Amino acid sequence: MAESWVNLAERIGSDLHLELPGTGGRRAALIRALRDAVRGGRLAPGTLLPPYRSLAADLGVARNTVADAYAELVAEGWLTARQGSGTRVATGLRTEGAGTEAGRAAPAATPGAAARPVHDLRQGQPDAASFPRTAWLASARRAVNAAPHDAFGPGDPRGRPELRRALAAYLARVRGVRTDPDRVVVCSGFAHALRLLFGGGVLGGPLAVESYGLPFHRSLLAAASVRTVPLALDDDGARVEELAAHDAVRAVLLTPAHQFPTGGPLRPERRAAVVEWARERGALVLEDDYDGEFRYDRRPVGAVQGLDPEHVLYLGSVSKSLSPAVRLGWMVLPERLVDAVLAAKGDREAWTGVTDQLTLADLIESGAYDRHVRRMRQRYRRRRDALVTALAERAPHIRPTGVAAGLHAVLRLPPGTERSVVRAAARRGLAVEALADYRHPGAAMPPRDGLVVGYATPPEHAYAAALRALCEVLPPASL
Ligand SMILES: Cc1ncc(COP(=O)(O)O)c(C=O)c1O
């Protein structure tokens, strides 16, 4: 057995003895050695590890071997990595040095982090590590410096004019939305918009919805006593012709660019048909454009709102493009609804801070928002491609759907396997969701078995390990 003494004196204040066997996989051996050093307490929580290059040189292994080993241990929760501050031993680990048993599997974490999976492929958030901190700070500095004094007064319930102007121009250019700034009302996101519209008495039920959708939005509507009527879905999106059978329905909520979560766009004939239905009935289409900027293979599907701004209410937010924690969104309203929405909002803008609004306006107008979205689109496309390739190589019998756009895909599973796959994933430390969890309880269409895989969620370095874990828990072809 070859031994390597690695002098980490400047980094960790002591020498570290790592034993790598003379033969066999260097990456796996290094992972084992580092894991043992952490578990045994020789590398204390919070310890800064040496850069790839110096550890690689000390051990006589390739730089990528060290990078891969660190990434794997980050994904397993033993190490943490932050851009600019290096890789450290995770804090809150129970080590043998601390007198507690620690197993070979994922480390036991601090109470706050106890529920965190080793690999996270749940949909619902963009890569949090990619938030454009520098651009955001630059915009905040510029915007706050340039803002007039009255920006820091009580404000306009529509939102800051700078942001409404920037959004009206941006949405017209990028999504084909037709509006002027006066019909844009800023809110804290799609969920807030639903609360204002239905909880604030602007609109009432029954509301037609898609048979698969976000359960959180269904509960918001239920809390506002809105009955929802599920429309069936097929490969062309929601079957909007079913609206004709529901006389009392005066509004329909759709995700036309990328059905959530099953994935396809609403086919052009159906887009036209649902607008026609709204015109004839004096009804309204609510367009949830939650990830419209992220389309990979074909030309972007423009907003339905562009077909008829008086019968389509367009809703969007920065939750997929920047972060769901920023809480900034917008409604583009038909003229006749503006006053009612403002009344529901109240005189004081209690939901979205003025500095964030000004910052987003600057981010858009300076072009930094476009640049960020373009960069993320490339990154997510690469991740989407890696998912498709991994499945083609390791589970060719599993069909990914909805991969032309967005930050998630649905993997169709053999009937009856969905729950057992999610359980097997949980045992493997992989968090991933069952398609059944998104199904409307009143849906009449046949259920589909599937996994909803959010490929934007893990940080870049942890994605490959998450994909490996996913492929390991998929059912075999014989099922
Ligand atoms: C279907 C759907 N609509 C809208 C949103 C955005 O919600 P919000 O703006 O409230 O964060 C999400 C989540 O990001 C979503 O999954």
Higher pLDDT, 130 or 349: 130
Flag whether pLDDT at 359 surpasses 50: yes
pLDDT confidence band for 11 (50 / 70 / 90): very low
Q: Which atom in ligand 1 lies closest to the alpha carbon of residue 260?
A: 1
Q: Is 221 helix (H, G, I), strand (E, B) or coil?
A: helix
- Taking the C-alpha atoms of residue 206 and residue 198, their distance in angstroms, rounded to an integer, is 11
**CATH architecture of structural domain 3-110:** Orthogonal Bundle (1.10)
What is the average pLDDT across 438-442? 96
User: Could you tell me if residue 370 is left (phi over 0), alpha (psi between -120 and 50 degrees) or otherwise beta?
Assistant: alpha
Q: What is the pLDDT of residue 22?
A: 64
* Residues contacting ligand 1 via CB (< 6 Å): 189-191, 214, 255, 260, 288, 290, 317, 319-320, 324, 329
Domain boundaries, the chain: 3-110, 133-366, 370-473
- Which CATH number does the domain 133-366 belong to among 3.40.30.10, 3.30.2350.10, 3.40.640.10, 3.30.1280.10? 3.40.640.10
For the stretch 250-290, pLDDT in tens is: 999 999 999 999 999 999 999 999 999 999 999 999 999 99
Class level of CATH domain 370-473 = alpha beta
| Ligand 1 centroid to residue 52 C-alpha, Å | 38
| Ligand 1 centroid to residue 454 C-alpha, Å | 13
| Ligand 1 centroid to residue 344 C-alpha, Å | 21
For the stretch 18-46, pLDDT in tens is: 777 766 688 888 888 888 888 877 788 88
Q: What is the pLDDT of residue 125?
A: 86
Kindly report the pTM of this predicted structure: 0.79
DSSP string, 313-356: EEEEESTTTT-TTS--EEEE--GGGHHHHHHHH-SS--SS-HHH
Q: Containing H/E element for 183?
A: none
pLDDT confidence band for 349 (50 / 70 / 90): low
Mean residue pLDDT across the chain: 88
Flag whether pLDDT at 108 surpasses 50: no
Q: What is the pLDDT of residue 85?
A: 76
Q: What is the pLDDT of residue 301?
A: 82
